[in-house]
Amino acid sequence: MRSYELMTIFRPEMAEPDVRKEVERVSKALVERGAEIKKDDFWGKRRFAYEINHLTEGFYSVLQFDAEAEAIVDIDRALSLSDQVVRHKFFRPE
């Protein structure tokens, strides 16, 4: 298993409890694919350094987990298709 971090930015017009539910759904989907969640860090609403898709702020969330490489493929696709997600990025911390 490898260590990963997933940073996700959700749309600013969402209510905070709804954003937390979405983060929980992503966590559950990772666990269903064999991942082991280490840390769930919710940053809340933050301003962007630059405009993204005509938005200037969003809700940030960072998940740290261990998983096989195949486990993140489905999650990556689902987040790419989600209307609630402004941006997401998987990292491999060194």
Question: Mind giving me the DSSP string for 60-94?
Answer: EEEEEEEE-TTHHHHHHHHHHH-SSEEEEEEE---
Q: How far apart are CA 20 and CA 16, in angstroms?
A: 6
Query: How far is it, in rounded angstroms, from Cα 79 to Cα 81?
Result: 5
Question: Confidence class of residue 21 from pLDDT cuts 50, 70 and 90?
Answer: very high
pLDDT above 90 for 70: no
Confidence of residue 27 (pLDDT cuts 50, 70, 90): very high
| Average pLDDT for 17-25 | 94
What is the per-residue pLDDT for 69?
Answer: 86
What is the pLDDT, as a whole number, of residue 45? Answer: 93
How many CB atoms are closer than 10 A to CB 72?
19
